[in-house]
């Protein structure tokens, strides 16, 4: 309960600060939409040359993309830890975090949230509705609940992977370019995994399970029952990854060396 109220305290403070710089906010939202439009155009261009991709139609792929945007939006609103090494370890901001009576990871999440990224949820849902109506999908009573469960699972997988990567900084504070690379790999989850070769498929399912953020859970809503096993695994994978991540983080904090003065 305490953590919930602290979260809202920080969120309201965040909104206040953002609203004082209104023009920044507008520019950011605009560039976000532009970025998503480019991605969509890419899909359309690919399907200008073919109608089916390993048995997936254009609308289905657009649907998967729409779904992907939702957990991704939640992830990028709350887990801006790609610069954790630089900001908290090298500059020593972690010192301050560790002198406050709140779990350190939670503090970093609420300090670094970027709520305007939540706009992606709206875009994602809109794209899903568009593609869904083209495909003639219907919404059942349990779909909204499944949707929340799948989105939560996807967001937790994303969060888990990036928290584990951030935790590496506790062991080695040398700069790595692993974070941007991971953002790229994350994008592979938006496409049906059966278009990739076996090895990549295996990696995207079990090692860096980005497929659980896009194609697997979306397959459930598309009614593709050959993927149901993976679809239902999404929340489980989410829990597994976030548990490993928090464990790695807690171990890492014990090894925190501090920044020299």
Partner 1 sequence: MNVIDVHGLRKEFKSYSSRKGLGGAFRDLLTRNYTVLRAVDDIDLQVKQGEMVAYIGENGAGKSTTIKMLTGILTPTAGEVQVNGMDPHRQREAFVRTIGVVFGQRSQLWWDIAVQESFRLLKKVYRLSDEHYDTHMKQVIETLEIEPLLDKPVRKLSLGQRMRCELAAALIHNPPLLFLDEPTIGLDVLVKMKIREFLKEINRKYKTTILLTTHDLSDIEALCDRVVLLDEGRIIYDGGLEALQNNWVEGKQVEFEFQKPVAKEELEQITAEFPVKWRAAEKLRGWKATVEGDDDTVSKVMSVVMSHHSISDVKLNQVSTEEIIRNIYEEGMHRHG
Q: Applying CB under 8 A, which residues contact partner 1?
A: 2, 5-6, 9-10, 13, 16-17, 92-96, 98-103, 254-258, 261
Quote the CA–CA distance of 120 and 36 in Å, as a whole number: 9
Query: 92-130 burial by CB neighbour count: b if 16+ within 10 A, else e?
Result: ebbeebeeeeeebbebbbbebbeebbebbbebbbebbee
Quote the CA–CA distance of 207 and 185 in Å, as a whole number: 12
Q: Which CB sits closer to partner 1, 50 or 261?
A: 261
Tell me how far, at minimum, the Cβ of 118 lies from partner 1, in Å.
Answer: 20
Contact 195, 53 (CB under 8 A): yes
Tell me how far, at minimum, the Cβ of 181 lies from partner 1, in Å.
Answer: 20
Tell me how far, at minimum, the Cβ of 176 lies from partner 1, in Å.
Answer: 15
Q: Which CB sits closer to partner 1, 5 or 198?
A: 5
Tell me how far, at minimum, the Cβ of 99 lies from partner 1, in Å.
Answer: 5
Q: Give 56's strand partners.
A: 53
Tell me how far, at minimum, the Cβ of 227 lies from partner 1, in Å.
Answer: 41
Tell me how far, at minimum, the Cβ of 185 lies from partner 1, in Å.
Answer: 24
Contact 176, 260 (CB under 8 A): no
Quote the CA–CA distance of 231 and 165 in Å, as a whole number: 25
User: Nearest to residue 152, comparing CAs of 75, 64, 62?
Assistant: 75
Q: Which CB sits closer to partner 1, 92 or 144?
A: 92
Between vectors from CA 122 to CA 62 and to CA 213, what angle results, nearest 5°? 55
Contact 134, 80 (CB under 8 A): no
Q: Which CB sits closer to partner 1, 95 or 143?
A: 95
Contact 253, 171 (CB under 8 A): no
Tell me how far, at minimum, the Cβ of 231 lies from partner 1, in Å.
Answer: 38
Tell me how far, at minimum, the Cβ of 121 lies from partner 1, in Å.
Answer: 26
Q: Which CB sits closer to partner 1, 17 or 198?
A: 17
Q: Which CB sits closer to partner 1, 94 or 218?
A: 94
- With H, G, I as helix, E, B as strand and everything else as coil, classify residue 238: helix
Give φ, ψ of 57 to 5 degrees.
-85, 170
Q: Which CB sits closer to partner 1, 107 or 123?
A: 107
DSSP state of 255: T
Q: Which CB sits closer to partner 1, 49 or 255?
A: 255
């Amino acid at each position: 309960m305490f953590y919930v109220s602290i979260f809202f305290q920080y969120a309201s403070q965040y909104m206040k600060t953002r609203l004082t710089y209104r023009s920044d906010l507008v520019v950011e939202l605009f560039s976000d939409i532009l970025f998503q439009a480019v991605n969509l155009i890419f899909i359309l261009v690919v399907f200008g040359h073919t109608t089916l991709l390993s048995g997936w139609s254009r609308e289905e792929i657009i649907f998967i993309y729409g779904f992907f945007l939702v957990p991704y939006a939640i992830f990028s609103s709350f887990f801006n830890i790609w610069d954790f090494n630089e900001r908290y370890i090298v500059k020593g901001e972690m010192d301050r975090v560790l002198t406050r009576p709140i779990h350190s990871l939670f503090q970093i999440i609420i300090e670094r949230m970027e709520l305007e990224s939540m706009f992606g949820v709206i875009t994602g849902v809109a794209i899903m509705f568009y593609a869904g109506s083209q495909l003639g999908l219907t919404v059942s009573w349990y779909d909204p609940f499944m949707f929340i469960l799948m989105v939560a699972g996807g967001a937790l997988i994303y969060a888990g992977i990036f928290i584990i990567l951030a935790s590496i900084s506790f062991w080695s504070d040398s700069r790595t370019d692993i974070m941007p690379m991971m953002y790229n790999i994350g994008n592979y989850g938006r496409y049906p995994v059966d278009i990739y070769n076996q090895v990549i498929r295996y990696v995207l399912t079990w090692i860096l399970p980005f497929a659980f953020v896009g194609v697997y859970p979306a397959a459930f809503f598309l009614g593709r029952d050959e993927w149901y096993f993976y679809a239902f695994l999404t929340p489980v994978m989410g829990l597994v990854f976030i548990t490993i991540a928090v464990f790695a983080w807690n171990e890492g904090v014990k090894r925190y060396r501090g920044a020299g003065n």
